[in-house]
Amino acid sequence: MNSGTHPSLALQRVHHGRPAVDALMEEVGRAGASRVFVTTTRSLAGAHLVADCIAALGDRFAGRFDAIAAHSPREAVIAGAALIRDAGADLVLAIGGGSVIDATKVMLQCVWFGITEPAGLDAIVGGRHRGGGDPSAWDADPQRLRMIAIPTTLSAAEFNHLAGVTDVAKKVKQGYMHPMAVPKAVILDPAATRDTPLELLLSTGMRAVDHCVERLCALRTAPMSDALSLHALSMLASALPRIKADPDDLNARADSQVGMWLSLLPQTAGVPFGASHGIGYILGGAYGVPHGVTSCLMLPAVLEWNEPVNAARQNAVAQAFGHPGERAGPVLRAFVRDLGVPWRLRDVGITRDDLPGIAARYDGTGPISTNPRPVGGAADIVEILELAW
């Protein structure tokens, strides 16, 4: 008998296929907010989406922070939290990709817990605070200041309570979590992705594919996770090539948004990721490779390396991409290459001489430790990296 407990996130609503400004103002009204602070990136600060949202907010607009770099550096988190605090914000609107949304999750925690220096984040790494890491423990540390997210990529960071923030000095991406860090509402407007460079959109779409594939082929699986991951995978396998063929196809963008939403819904079921995500964290934190791109590089290689232990599960992956009976690793590699995004480590400046150093950064924790084929140490990681090089 299959048994367990499935926790639920404090995510109240997901608006999909709706104009972002309309849904935003509905949420602002629901919240009774009068001081809305906007977090975003400099690349989006001058875009129509941000300008339209600020204009709609009118005198409820309380300020903006747009200095959020890739991988959410600690320093940016502290700077943004200070502005949110000084503005007396009663709601935060995050507009952007995974780095913006993750940074904003931790900015909220800085405001809640009075953290004003980068070193102060050490106290809450990994959920070491009264809120804890249980996504359903809403009553453990209820917080009034929450966020709404309008994602502009397909990384799906907005659909969980977890966040990755980089300790730049150590070149390590660290995990943060709090049950109230998840947005209270997410707005999926396909038009919100128009200002996102095509390569970034497609590579973050592969991040969503990575969520599905690593959960389908995981060390431990769950019926809900399997069902959602399979359907999400079929949507993404169809939508991403359609976006590549016609970037103006809003239906394809909408399908990809729903697919990436479904790809993260199994997060709370406790189904672990594997080495594709884990090595991606190393490549991101230490080598600056965007997380969407890390999935493009590592997922096919990890599938090939894991094949001896989960070939049957991988058959479902190949079938979702229209290649039943074929090996999933090569099928995914060809899919990535056809999207026109980086597909080998050498494409992002990683040399073969770098591989041992990358592998040496594995500390025995994180998703590599829950890979379905046990990773014994650096030598195994080098084998995987060679497949990706």
Let me know if residue 6 belongs to a domain: no
Let me know if residue 111 belongs to a domain: yes
**3-class DSSP assignment, residue 295:** helix
Here the tokens at position 222 are: 């769950």
Bridge-based pairing state of the strands 36-39 and 91-96: parallel
For residue 289, give the H/E element and its range: none
CATH number at residue 373: 1.20.1090.10
Backbone angles phi, psi at 298, to 5 degrees: -95, -30
Let me know if residue 345 belongs to a domain: yes
Whole-number Å distance between alpha carbons of 77 and 345: 29
Sign of the torsion formed by the C-alpha atoms of 365, 280, 129 and 135 = negative
| One domain for residues 220 and 277 | yes
| One domain for residues 256 and 281 | yes
Whole-number Å distance between alpha carbons of 41 and 365: 31
Angle ∠(170,176,179) on CA atoms, nearest 5: 175
The amino acid present at 104, given as its one-letter code, is: T
User: What does the pLDDT average to over 202-220?
Assistant: 96
| One domain for residues 302 and 275 | yes
Each residue of 50-60: pLDDT tens digit? 999 999 999 99
**How many independent structural domains does the chain possess?**
2
| One domain for residues 218 and 97 | no
Let me know if residue 7 belongs to a domain: no
Q: For residue 327, what are the contacts with CB-CB under 8 A and spacing of at least 6?
A: 304, 307, 314, 318
| One domain for residues 77 and 206 | no
Mean pLDDT rounded to a whole number for the chain: 94
| One domain for residues 99 and 50 | yes
Structural domain span for residue 112: 13-192
Q: Please state, in angstroms and as integers, the Cα–Cα distance from residue 56 to each residue in 26, 36, 50, 92, 295, following that order.
A: 11, 11, 10, 15, 36
Each residue of 299-358: pLDDT tens digit? 999 999 999 999 999 999 999 999 999 999 999 999 999 999 999 999 999 999 999 999
| One domain for residues 177 and 237 | no
Nearest Cα residue to 156 out of 11, 286, 56: 11
User: In the prediction, which pLDDT does 47 show?
Assistant: 84
Provide the pLDDT confidence category of residue 387 given band limits of 50, 70 and 90: very high
Q: Is the pLDDT of residue 169 over 80?
A: yes
| One domain for residues 298 and 337 | yes
Q: How many Cβ atoms are within 10 Å of 5's Cβ, its own excluded?
A: 8
Let me know if residue 2 belongs to a domain: no
Share of the chain above pLDDT 70, in %: 99
Each residue of 80-115: pLDDT tens digit? 999 999 999 999 999 999 999 999 999 999 999 999
| One domain for residues 98 and 145 | yes
For residue 356, give the H/E element and its range: helix 355-360
Let me know if residue 71 belongs to a domain: yes
Nearest Cα residue to 387 out of 351, 348, 345, 341: 345
| One domain for residues 271 and 358 | yes
The amino acid present at 277, given as its one-letter code, is: H
User: In the prediction, which pLDDT does 145 show?
Assistant: 98
Whole-number Å distance between alpha carbons of 372 and 309: 7
Each residue of 133-147: pLDDT tens digit? 888 999 999 999 999
| One domain for residues 100 and 66 | yes
The DSSP code for 368 is G
Q: Is the pLDDT of residue 1 over 80?
A: no
Provide the pLDDT confidence category of residue 380 given band limits of 50, 70 and 90: very high
